[in-house]
Structure 1
């Protein structure tokens, strides 16, 4: 678990960790990202917080969700820099 900063919402802090993992290739394009339940277990967050993390990353275009299959890292646009 990470130590949460008190001055920032937990969902933003967890989303930042997942963003960093996507950027550094820990979660490569088209790979599965942790489910809401996995985020709960790893970070000790509530279900609603995990859902908010997924929603924020989807809104940013970093992940996409396939109903019944899970959430996956989106392909990087051709003009985006690789880490």
Structure 2
């Protein structure tokens, strides 16, 4: 568990941890990220909070969800930027 800061929503703080793990390579592309239940167990958060974490990371394009299989780290965008 982490020590939550009172001035920021918990879902945002947990998303920051997962985002850092992705950036550091702890969760490489196409690897599974913790499920909502696993987030609940690790961080002591509610299911709705875990769902917000997943939604935020999906909205950022960092993860994608395969129904019935789980959520996975997206491939980095390798297209040249213009």
Coarse TM-score class (shorter-chain normalised): over 0.9
Count matched residues.
80
In the superposition, the TM-score normalised over structure 1's length comes to 0.94
Query: Counterpart in 1 of 2:43?
Result: 43
**Structure 1 residue ranges, 4+ long, deviating more than 2 angstroms after superposition:** none
Query: Counterpart in 1 of 2:62?
Result: 62
Superposition deviation, residue 78 in structure 1: 1.3
Query: Counterpart in 2 of 1:14?
Result: 14
In the superposition, the TM-score normalised over structure 2's length comes to 0.95
CA-to-aligned-CA distance 1:46-81 (integer Å, 9 cap, x gap): 00000000000000000000000000000001169x
Structure 2: distance between partners of 1:63 and 1:32: 9
Flag structure 1 segments of 5+ consecutive residues without an equivalent: none
